[in-house]
Every structure is written in C-alpha cells, then in structure tokens.
Chains A and B, each alone.
Chain A
Amino acid sequence: MKITHIKKLLTVTGFILATCLMQNTVLAQQKNDPKFNQMMTDSFRAEGIAGLDRIQQDETQKFCSDPVSANSKQGEKMRDKIQKINMAGIKQPSNGKYIGDWKKGEAIAQSGRGATWTDKADVAVGGGCYNCHQIDKKEISYGNIGPSLTGYGKLRGYSQEVITYTWNRINNSKAYNACSNMPRFAHFKLLNEQQIQDVMALLLDPASPVNQ
C-alpha cells in the first residue's frame, strides 16, 4: 500500500520534473530579450496590407527563429510538437479533388508576387515555386533552396499516398519539417484550395511537362 503510494508519488514527481526540464529546454532556446522586443516594436510601422501583426510570431516562427536550439537534440521534442500542430491544421480538399489544371499551376509556380506592402489585398499571391525549386526543366531560371521537383510524379508514381503527402506538403510544409523554409500556403491563406489543386497538377498530372 505504502509502496504503491511512493511509486505513484515518484511517478508524479518524475513527470513534473520531466515537464520542468522540457519547459526549461524550450525556454532556454532563446531568452526573452525586452531590448530586442522593444527594438522590433520601435523599428517597424504598418504599411498597406502589411500590418504590425506580421511581427507577432506564432509558436512555429518563435521556435524556428533560433535555429541552433531548434536543430539541437533537445529541440527534438519541440520539433515533433510543432509538426503535430501544423499537421492538425491541414484540410483535405473539400470536393475530394486533388489534381487541377497544370497550366494554371505553372503560372502560379512562376509568380512570386503578392502579400507585400506594395500589393493590394486583392492581388493574387503567387506560389513563387521557381524561386526555390527546379520544376519544368524548360525553365532555366530556378532556385535551389528547395529540392528539384523535375519528374516529380514520374519518379514517385501517382499513388494516393504520394498525392496526399504532396497535398499536405504544399498546404503546410511544417507538418513534416518544423522549420522548413517553405511557406505554409494554406495556413496563411496564400493559395486557395483551387490554386493548390493546380500546383498539384503541375507536379502530379501525367500530362504536365514536369512528368515528360
């Protein structure tokens, strides 16, 4: 009787201790620096559609702003947590359709416009995909921050598994890699469902030039 009590107590203590430790590592990632916060507050002003709320970080942004800690062993649990949060927000297509029009997808991939303070709120935001990825190999002006997507469907196949993974990845890349450099296109409503379907088609329509 007594022993089980102690056991319970130990477990609880252990749990509390573990939680404290975890929180400590999370806190240790980057100390809150009032001076830094003050600098950020004082240095920016709202302009056009770019309000000051844009420097109010969410949990993901806060965590990823300290890459040394985020990439450390101690950061691992937090990475999982961030990924889970982001995964939870992903919605599958409301009409069950994953693949749209690859030609429209190519136009979205080409455009890096939108969401800056010089853009109006109604300017369609581009995917900016070529900024970081090779896609259709006929386009020679492509970046390399992300992996090459040339032959995407041809190489990986067109299974539902590949389709769902790709859908999720475009919707919210942070569901798989907490501090991926890729924007969370659905989470921040940069691209709507139809636009994502079109980008999906660019990668996964067998007729898309990407898969030729």
Chain B
Amino acid sequence: MQRKLTLGLATALVAALLTMTSSVFAQKSATDDIAKYREMIADGNPSELYEAAGEELWKKPAGPKNATLEKCDLGLGPGVVKGAAAQLPRYFADTDKVQDLESRLMTCMLFLQGRIPQEMIDAPFQRGPKKDMEAIVAYVVTLSKGDKIKVSTNHPKEKEMYDLGKRAFFFQGGPMDFSCASCHAEDGKRIRLQDLPNITAQKGAALGWGYWPAYRVSSGQFWTMQQRLNDCYRQQRFPFPIYGSDVTIALSMYMAKTGNGGTVETPGLKR
C-alpha cells in the first residue's frame, strides 16, 4: 500500500518533470548536457585495453620471419614510435609512396615479418589480422598523445597527395549526392546532436584528425582512422574504399595538413 503510494508519487513527480523539461528544453541545454556526458565518460577510456595489447604485439615475434615490429620505421627512424603518428601521413623513400599509419604498418609487417599485406587488406575490421592491427595502432597513436599535428607537404608526392585529398573531400557521388563536404565544410553544424567539425578549416580539421583513432561507445570498438573513413564512405552511400587505398591516404593527408598545429588527442573517446 505504502509502496504503491510512494511509487505513484514518484511517477507523478517524474511526469511533472517530464512535461516541464520537454517544453522548456532548449537545444542549447541539450548540447550542454551532451558535453557533460562526454566529460563523465572521458576518464576511463577503454582504448587503454587495446593499447596494452598492442604494445605486446609490437614486441612479439610474428609472421614467416618470426620477427617483431620493434625496428619498424614510421618516419622518425627504425624503432622510433614516440611522436611518429603525429607526423603521418608522409612520404617514404623505401616504398616511394605517401603512407598513413596503417599502410606503413603493413609495409613494416611485410619487410620485417614477411606478412602479406593482402591478407590484412582483405580481413574484416575487428577480426583476424585487423584485430592485431587495431591494437598496434592504439599503441602507436598513444605515444603521440599531446604532440602537435605536424604533417609536411614539402615532398612533391606529399603535395600531390594533399591536392588529390582536397579534391576527394568535395567529390559527390552515390544516391544521396554526398561528399565529405556535405557535412564537414561549415562551422557550427550538427547531425542530430553530434557536432560536425569543419574540416576545411584548421580548427575543425585538428578536432577531426586529432581525436581519431578512438574508442567508440556506440559500437564498443576501437576504430582506426581507416575504419573511421570506411564508415564515413558507407554512410555517404559510396562503394567500399579499399583498406589503405590512395583515396583514404589522400583524405588523411588533406585532413592532417589542414589540422597542422592542433594537438593529437589520440586515442579519443567518441560516441
């Protein structure tokens, strides 16, 4: 009897609160509340779990050559991981290519461990060899956390990649006419309650580039930049961008270069 009363009272109170909030609720407060939510989950980023696994994989002999990745050259010399991700993508003389973190890691796996890149390219995200890649990426990017984004376009191939990336950013296609620019070329825009960084400007590009790779709470997965871009294209209703393909590296180059000077906050924690 008493319980019913208390519960009834509680329900009435909640109902009253509900009507109040729904009529008063301004968008401003909704976005403020989202900010509070993000703040509350910021401490305790599950990316740490992947990062620990990645460090182990980095130091563990693997592949036909039974070698570790410890001599991998990510651009700052063999074995230098600290700060390397903050300067990627970049041109590598040994492959004569501009590479992002993941395409470069595939090169290291091939050169050092004898692992065939195609196996990595064909694997689905979050499974098999990609699962290892994701952990390794978490480890590598954590060692650039707090650094400044510092990507060069001095080499002609880097400049060319940047130009291609800029063009790809505005390239419309698919049954919804979307390009990256449809959502990411203006300040102050949102999809639903999610802020959309304006990637054509330094501040927005730094926000976009600087917080990925990240742990996504909606999927409970750690996503590399390749997976992030892959899902962007999926939502754009495009065909499937091949893992490590030039369009993904070109877009990365465009974003990273535009965001130069911003802070690397990886691994991030995202919706």
Contacts and interface: CB of A to CB of B under 8 A. Distances in A.
A and B in contact, CB less than 8 Å: yes
Interface of A: 30, 33, 35-36, 39-40, 42-47, 50-52, 54-57, 60-62, 64-67, 115-118, 130-132, 134, 138, 140-145, 174, 181, 183-184, 188-190
A61 B191 CA distance: 22
Interface stretch (B59-67, B79-87, B176-184, B255-263): B176-184
B268 to A, nearest CB: 21
21 contacts: A30-B167, A39-B164, A39-B250, A42-B245, A43-B242, A44-B241, A44-B245, A44-B247, A46-B240, A51-B239, A52-B239, A54-B239, A61-B173, A62-B172, A65-B170, A65-B172, A115-B237, A116-B234, A134-B27, A183-B176, A188-B176
Contacts of A30: 167
Contact of A116 (B27, B237, B242, B250): B237
Question: For chain B, what secondary structure do more than half of its interface residues adopt (helix, strand, loop), or is it mixed?
Answer: mixed
B120 to A, nearest CB: 15
B152 to A, nearest CB: 20
Interface range on chain B (Cβ under 8 Å from partner)? 35 or more
Given A115-B176, A145-B189, A190-B175, A40 B240 contact: no
Contacts of B234: 50, 116-118
Given A40-B171, A44-B242, A116-B235, A141 B185 contact: no
Given A35-B164, A45-B239, A45-B240, A54 B173 contact: yes
A67 B193 contact: no
A66 B170 CA distance: 7
Contacts of A47: 239-240
Contacts of B238: 44, 50, 54-55
A33 B179 CA distance: 18
Interface of B: 22, 25, 27, 30, 160, 164, 167-168, 170-179, 181-183, 185, 188-193, 196, 234-235, 237-242, 245-248, 250
A115 B174 CA distance: 9
Given A143-B190, A183-B177, 7 more contacts: A40-B247, A43-B242, A115-B175, A132-B191, A140-B193, A145-B183, A189-B175
The interface residues of chain A, by DSSP majority, are classed as loop
Contacts of B177: 60-61, 64, 174, 183-184
A140 B30 contact: yes
A43 B164 contact: no
A194 B245 CA distance: 41
Contacts, number: 129
Nearest to B249: A43
A46 B242 CA distance: 10
A168 B172 CA distance: 22
Contacts of B30: 140-141
Nearest to A144: B190
Given A65-B172, A143-B191, A46 B239 contact: yes
B237 A43 contact: no
Closest 7 CB pairs between A and B?
A43-B247, A47-B240, A43-B245, A188-B175, A183-B176, A61-B172, A44-B239
Contacts of A50: 174, 234, 237-240
A62 B192 CA distance: 28
Nearest to A60: B177
A60 B134 CA distance: 38
A190 B176 contact: yes
Contacts of B247: 39-40, 43-44
